[in-house]
A and B are shown apart, each in its own frame.
Chain A
């Protein structure tokens, strides 16, 4: 049975199952409302059907300073379509009617603050969201936030970075539940060709301070990345590569046909990544 799951959220259960099978999980990020919320609904179901283990729904923000150009453009498109945080929470409720896929809301802090922490947490939890990740919130500034989210049984996922010291990684892990999100490189989001050389060392440092599952993100897009990560991490986060897929299929063709084409493309990508995860290195073989 599960190794170190302290609670029974959908996220913890999914990671426990992944650990059991020794398979790398795939966390899929897309920006909600790009190009429309109805399209996002379709995309989430397609991603889940193709085997994505966790879905991260990005809340579009006017000033996404941790994001590279791909997700910046997606945020602009989503905001242009009128997307709000409240609408994304409503979308979670709609998706939850037909899917048990774990869902994480991924946001900058200001939209959450403006909705109000209590209102945000209660409505997100009621809708069926499982966890929340705030890009520009650190453990030090998150006391109230963590209390409110914990009261509503939402996982709080924090980010660790290559610049984080061991002490900080421990602090970040303590503040986190569900999983720890490890940023692979200094920089903003966006697909890259190669994984950084110092990633294994960073993962070892993180492992030494926490039992939480670790998902690695930023710059991961290819099946080859996933094969390598299988020996090191519990999950890989794929974001900009999926958002690009949506952009290519819908930016020039925002019709139902374009959206269907995007959904098919997303599913194909997830399937190839899952395939790589099944045949790549496994923690069972590599981890001590």
Chain B
């Protein structure tokens, strides 16, 4: 429990050299307030009871750890379990964090939340939690993402949220975060920024990880009950990295458990064609440590320090920076990161649909593709938990073009 790797946070908000708090001054005191509210909530029995109640009765936890028997047989390698976050209310793991931060907003007396969204899953989760708790909700979304995730735009509006299209930059997740931060810095006195991943300034990467770590806590118990042993490998997709860190965190002290994060390899290794920040060994270029949107981490950027455009078929992975704790885990060699292409993810989505009867989100399909590409290094004695972070309903437009 007390190993440095398990805690991985040295100075508050730092993961080795990564993380920190790089924000305009206007946001510093609000971030202190958020940090204090969050620290207090950790030991506040009433907060914890409410959080547990909403996770169970609103979101539908615990989620099953399902043995994927036909996928296992088809691939002919390790035994594969799926952590079924796709079964949660609103369709992805994002609801875990949205509930936690929604309750914090109420506790801090902030009647309004703003959120960014890429694939729309965090936006839908935020809109649902806001409606459930009686908060006003504004969601910023790149217009490119609004087009490819139209179903989720309708869901947010049905839930009473205002969806604001962002037309600047690459019109994707990064630009939505910029716009959400501009709203927050303007309305900070009555507004909480419900950031959806392990990104941004301290305390977000730590707080979001903690709210998501319920995934790994459940999975660890479930796998021990089912198999009487720890898994040998964990697989998860990594955009900002919240579902991955949510699964990994409870296993960080179990040094026999290998952790693999799968990034979006897009169309190729050239800068602009992918969203792979930690897969330079595979020839994905352009990532260096730097500061973006509040945190110091690996970022896809030009020589001059301008943030690069990215490409992924998956809106949720289409982002130039990675959560700072992942950068640290990669540096330490505690977790490995690799990237798979758009087309490999699509093939994997079809395979899971037809072997297990589960249509995965495009993001989660990257994790499956990553597992498939790694099969030569895995044996029948290996035991894999793969985080099926979201369901594929939102991606049916993309999938239907393949049918």
- For A159, what are the chain B residues with a Cβ–Cβ distance below 8 Å? 24-25
**Given B20, B187, B293, which contacts A63 in the complex, CB threshold below 8 Å?**
B293
B305:A110 contact, CB within 8 angstroms: yes
Complexed CA–CA distance, A72 and B23 (Å) = 17
Q: Does B182 interact with chain A (Cβ within 8 Å)?
A: yes
User: Can you name the residue of chain A whose Cβ is closest to the Cβ of B30?
Assistant: A163
Which parts of A57-79 form the interface with B (CB within 8 Å)?
Answer: 61-66, 68, 72, 76, 79
Q: Does A114 interact with chain B (Cβ within 8 Å)?
A: yes
Which parts of A32-71 form the interface with B (CB within 8 Å)?
Answer: 61-66, 68
**Given A110, A114, A165, A186, which contacts B187 in the complex, CB threshold below 8 Å?**
A186
Number of A-B contacts (CB under 8 A): 113
Q: Does B366 interact with chain A (Cβ within 8 Å)?
A: no
B305:A68 contact, CB within 8 angstroms: no
User: Can you name the residue of chain A whose Cβ is closest to the Cβ of B168?
Assistant: A72
- For B306, what are the chain A residues with a Cβ–Cβ distance below 8 Å? 61-62, 79, 111
Interface residue tally of chain B, by bracket? 35 or more
Complexed CA–CA distance, A115 and B302 (Å) = 11
Interface residue tally of chain A, by bracket? 35 or more
**Given A136, A158, A164, A165, which contacts B291 in the complex, CB threshold below 8 Å?**
A136
Complexed CA–CA distance, A138 and B13 (Å) = 15
Least Cβ distance of A247 to chain B in Å? 16
- For B294, what are the chain A residues with a Cβ–Cβ distance below 8 Å? 136
A158:B174 contact, CB within 8 angstroms: no
Given known A61-B306, A63-B174, contact A188–B182 (CB-CB < 8 A): yes
- For A259, what are the chain B residues with a Cβ–Cβ distance below 8 Å? none
- For B303, what are the chain A residues with a Cβ–Cβ distance below 8 Å? 114
Given known A63-B174, A187-B185, contact A114–B290 (CB-CB < 8 A): yes
User: Can you name the residue of chain A whose Cβ is closest to the Cβ of B289?
Assistant: A113
A141:B20 contact, CB within 8 angstroms: yes
Least Cβ distance of A120 to chain B in Å? 10
A113:B188 contact, CB within 8 angstroms: no
Q: Does A85 interact with chain B (Cβ within 8 Å)?
A: yes
- For A108, what are the chain B residues with a Cβ–Cβ distance below 8 Å? 291
Complexed CA–CA distance, A165 and B29 (Å) = 8
> What per-residue 1/0 map shows which CB atoms of A135-179 lie under 8 Å from chain B?
111101100000000000000001111111100100010000000
Which parts of A78-130 form the interface with B (CB within 8 Å)?
Answer: 79, 84-86, 108-115
> What per-residue 1/0 map shows which CB atoms of B274-300 lie under 8 Å from chain A?
000000000000001011111000010
- For A135, what are the chain B residues with a Cβ–Cβ distance below 8 Å? 24
A110:B301 contact, CB within 8 angstroms: yes
B304:A114 contact, CB within 8 angstroms: yes
A63:B24 contact, CB within 8 angstroms: no
B28:A65 contact, CB within 8 angstroms: no
Complexed CA–CA distance, A161 and B175 (Å) = 24
- For B175, what are the chain A residues with a Cβ–Cβ distance below 8 Å? 63
Complexed CA–CA distance, A162 and B305 (Å) = 30
A84:B174 contact, CB within 8 angstroms: no
Complexed CA–CA distance, A186 and B29 (Å) = 12
**Given A63, A64, A111, A188, which contacts B304 in the complex, CB threshold below 8 Å?**
A111
Q: Does A206 interact with chain B (Cβ within 8 Å)?
A: no
Q: Does A183 interact with chain B (Cβ within 8 Å)?
A: yes
**Given B26, B182, B288, B292, which contacts A163 in the complex, CB threshold below 8 Å?**
B26
Q: Does B138 interact with chain A (Cβ within 8 Å)?
A: no
A168:B304 contact, CB within 8 angstroms: no
A110:B178 contact, CB within 8 angstroms: no
Least Cβ distance of A109 to chain B in Å? 5
**Given B177, B185, B291, B293, which contacts A113 in the complex, CB threshold below 8 Å?**
B291
**Given A61, A72, A140, A161, which contacts B24 in the complex, CB threshold below 8 Å?**
A161
Which parts of B307-331 form the interface with A (CB within 8 Å)?
Answer: 307
> What per-residue 1/0 map shows which CB atoms of B40-52 lie under 8 Å from chain A?
0000000000000
User: Can you name the residue of chain B whose Cβ is closest to the Cβ of A167?
Assistant: B29
User: Can you name the residue of chain B whose Cβ is closest to the Cβ of A86?
Assistant: B304
> What per-residue 1/0 map shows which CB atoms of B161-181 lie under 8 Å from chain A?
000000011000011011001
- For B301, what are the chain A residues with a Cβ–Cβ distance below 8 Å? 110, 114
- For A62, what are the chain B residues with a Cβ–Cβ distance below 8 Å? 169, 306-307
Complexed CA–CA distance, A54 and B29 (Å) = 29
Complexed CA–CA distance, A51 and B197 (Å) = 48
- For A111, what are the chain B residues with a Cβ–Cβ distance below 8 Å? 304-306
User: Can you name the residue of chain B whose Cβ is closest to the Cβ of A136?
Assistant: B22
User: Can you name the residue of chain A whose Cβ is closest to the Cβ of B288?
Assistant: A114
Q: Does B256 interact with chain A (Cβ within 8 Å)?
A: no
Q: Does B186 interact with chain A (Cβ within 8 Å)?
A: yes
B291:A65 contact, CB within 8 angstroms: no
- For A86, what are the chain B residues with a Cβ–Cβ distance below 8 Å? 304
B305:A115 contact, CB within 8 angstroms: yes
User: Can you name the residue of chain B whose Cβ is closest to the Cβ of A67?
Assistant: B182
User: Can you name the residue of chain A whose Cβ is closest to the Cβ of B309?
Assistant: A62
A109:B24 contact, CB within 8 angstroms: no
Least Cβ distance of B153 to chain A in Å? 23
Q: Does B374 interact with chain A (Cβ within 8 Å)?
A: no
B182:A110 contact, CB within 8 angstroms: no
A188:B305 contact, CB within 8 angstroms: no
Given known A114-B303, A163-B29, contact A136–B288 (CB-CB < 8 A): no
Complexed CA–CA distance, A140 and B188 (Å) = 21
A110:B24 contact, CB within 8 angstroms: no
B307:A158 contact, CB within 8 angstroms: no
A183:B307 contact, CB within 8 angstroms: no
- For B24, what are the chain A residues with a Cβ–Cβ distance below 8 Å? 65-66, 135-136, 159, 161, 183
Interface contacts beyond A109-B291, A114-B304, A138-B25: sample of 7 additional A-B pairs, CB < 8 Å, sorted by A:
A65-B185, A65-B293, A110-B291, A110-B307, A114-B290, A136-B24, A136-B294
Residues of A that sit less than 8 Å from B by CB: 61-66, 68, 72, 76, 79, 84-86, 108-115, 135-138, 140-141, 158-165, 168, 172, 183, 186-188
Residues of B that sit less than 8 Å from A by CB: 20-30, 168-169, 174-175, 177-178, 181-182, 185-189, 288, 290-294, 299, 301, 303-307
User: Which 3 A-B pairs give the minimum distances between C-beta atoms?
Assistant: A114-B305, A111-B305, A161-B26
Q: Would you mind naming 9 contact pairs between A and B with Cβ atoms under 8 Å apart?
A: A63-B169, A72-B168, A85-B304, A114-B290, A141-B20, A161-B28, A168-B25, A183-B24, A187-B26
